[in-house]
Amino acid sequence: MCDDAAMLEYGNGVGEVAGKAGGGSGGGASMDIGASLSQLVTDSAHTIQTTPPGILLLGLVVIVVGLMMLKRVF
């Protein structure tokens, strides 16, 4: 028995994540591709909406410069 509650919680969290990453069904639940895609779009939109404008502009500049560099290389 572990007397350190934080370590016990850490180990449990690792087991849950490892089961999902390893392709486990997560307790018998089936994987819903439509819900996963919907959550991906929703999370992405939320991230973009909550990102400061300066960071969005910096990201856009990095993407444009990267595409220009790829165009030069190929």
What is the tally of structural domains in the chain?
A: 1
Read off the pTM. 0.48
pLDDT tens per residue, range 13-68: 555 555 555 555 555 566 788 889 999 999 999 999 999 999 999 999 999 999 99
Q: Evaluate whether residue 62 is within a structural domain.
A: yes
DSSP element (H, E) containing 57 = helix 53-73
Q: CB–CB of 31/25 below 8 Å?
A: yes
pLDDT of 32: 83
**How far is Cα 25 from Cα 40, in angstroms, rounded to an integer?**
19
Q: Evaluate whether residue 45 is within a structural domain.
A: yes
pLDDT tens per residue, range 28-41: 566 788 889 999 99
Q: Evaluate whether residue 39 is within a structural domain.
A: yes
Query: What is the domain extent for residue 68?
Result: 33-74
